[in-house]
Amino acid sequence: MSDKPYSPGLEGIAAGITTISEVDPQHQKLAYRGYDIEDLANHATFEEVAYLLLMGDLPTRAQLEAFKAEVAAYRALPEELISLLRLCPQTAHPMDTLRTAVSFLGASDPDAGDNSHEANLRKAKRLLGQIPTIVAAAYHIKNGREPIAPRPDLGHAANLLYMILGAEQDEFNVKVFDASLILYAEHSFNASTFTARVITSTLADLHAGVVGAIGALKGALHGGANERAMETMLKIGDPEKAEQWVLDALARKERLMGFGHRVYRWGDSRVPTMTRLAEQLSRRVGNMKWHTMATIIRNVMEREKGMHPNVDFPCGYTYYLLGLPIELYTPIFAASRIAGWAAHIIEQQDNNRLIRPDCLYEGQRGRTWVPIEQR
């Protein structure tokens, strides 16, 4: 038996040092560059948070306006990429299409072979502008419609809503959506971010890291949980059926997506803000059905299993109330998390060391070669 330390899933193992975000599970706190996430979600815009993650500090007004203008200038996609989106299979998951599109952009990016700090910042800003457009354009093309051109006069959240829904949304809806993007923007060494850091620790380029991160985010145990959470609520259908439905699911030992977290044991620090906004949106649109159902499901899960919701749970029905297609919930997550991914890739390559963990071997030993005629 080996004396090497081992933790399944690397749980509790510190795999690196970062200055980007801090998760404090004991006090249910999350901070970006030292700023509490609730404070940012309540007062900042996504662009301010993206600037903070990439640059290290909150921007001045002049810096913010210059940053917004630069990112907005990258929103339009090259015609070659639009043609590629038209070739993607109708059956393709939107995350697969997004992954393919980002790979295409990596092959054509003017800084493709440059991993310097400044080149990585330029690539990050381009992807901040391009990924939302890809998400919306691919969705419309898949459904037989022409893409809706981005609006440079709209902010990140407002523009993404406009490109998906085809109409400019009111200020409150934009604020709710913007706050969700802030909450999704970064979360330490999560699976997709760690994937991006491993890939780029080999000195692969930023786009390669983002392609890998998109692949990791697609999984139901990571970004796909918000889609599964809403699909579960649609299956239940009626708040009055929610408690018994959950009890029956638990008896069958089914896993409910949107509950539990590898880091948070006593509740996801992002949930209170997202739940409050979800309730406000529900009241505003005059539809309390999903919020009522969510409250019942949450109470049953906490009572029966001691499990608390993660941010994907309230985000699922918030996006549903905003009219967003369920298949786009995870790509929207990516349109936000690109800020965190890029910040981590830049941090990794600014002070790089190849990430190459060890493993424990439990296979057979001492076997002797047998010629194929004797097997």
DSSP 327: G
Average pLDDT over the chain, rounded to whole? 93
Residue 312 annotated to the active site: yes
pLDDT tens digits along 265-299: 666 889 999 999 999 999 999 999 999 999 999 99
Residue 56 — pLDDT band, cuts 50, 70, 90? very high
* The CATH classification of domain 225-321, taken from the options 3.40.50.720, 3.90.660.10, 3.40.50.2300, 1.10.230.10: 1.10.230.10
Residue 32 — pLDDT band, cuts 50, 70, 90? very high
* Helix (H), strand (E) counts: the chain: 16, 3
pTM higher than the cut 0.75: yes
For residue 277, the one-letter residue type is L
Residue 96 — pLDDT band, cuts 50, 70, 90? very high
Residue 260 — pLDDT band, cuts 50, 70, 90? low
* 196/266: higher pLDDT: 196
Residue 257 — pLDDT band, cuts 50, 70, 90? confident
* Catalytic residue (choose from 187, 261, 291, 344): 261
Q: Identify the CA nearest to 137 among candidates 183, 196, 75.
A: 75
pLDDT tens digits along 325-372: 999 999 999 999 999 999 999 999 999 999 998 888 889 999 999 999
Residue 140 annotated to the active site: no
Q: Identify the CA nearest to 123 among candidates 172, 164, 74.
A: 74
Q: Where are the domains of the chain?
A: 17-220+326-350, 225-321
Fold category of 17-220+326-350 in CATH: Citrate Synthase; domain 1 (1.10.580)
C-alpha distances in angstroms, 56 versus 155, 206, 281?
21, 19, 32
pLDDT of residue 258: 80
pLDDT tens digits along 122-164: 999 999 999 999 999 999 999 999 999 999 999 999 999 999 9
Could you tell me if residue 32 is left (phi over 0), alpha (psi between -120 and 50 degrees) or otherwise beta?
A: beta
Residue 93 annotated to the active site: no
* Catalytic residue (choose from 109, 205, 268, 312): 312
Chain Cα centroid distance, residue 87: 25
* Catalytic residue (choose from 93, 114, 140, 222): 222
Residue 23 — pLDDT band, cuts 50, 70, 90? confident
pLDDT tens digits along 41-55: 999 999 999 999 999
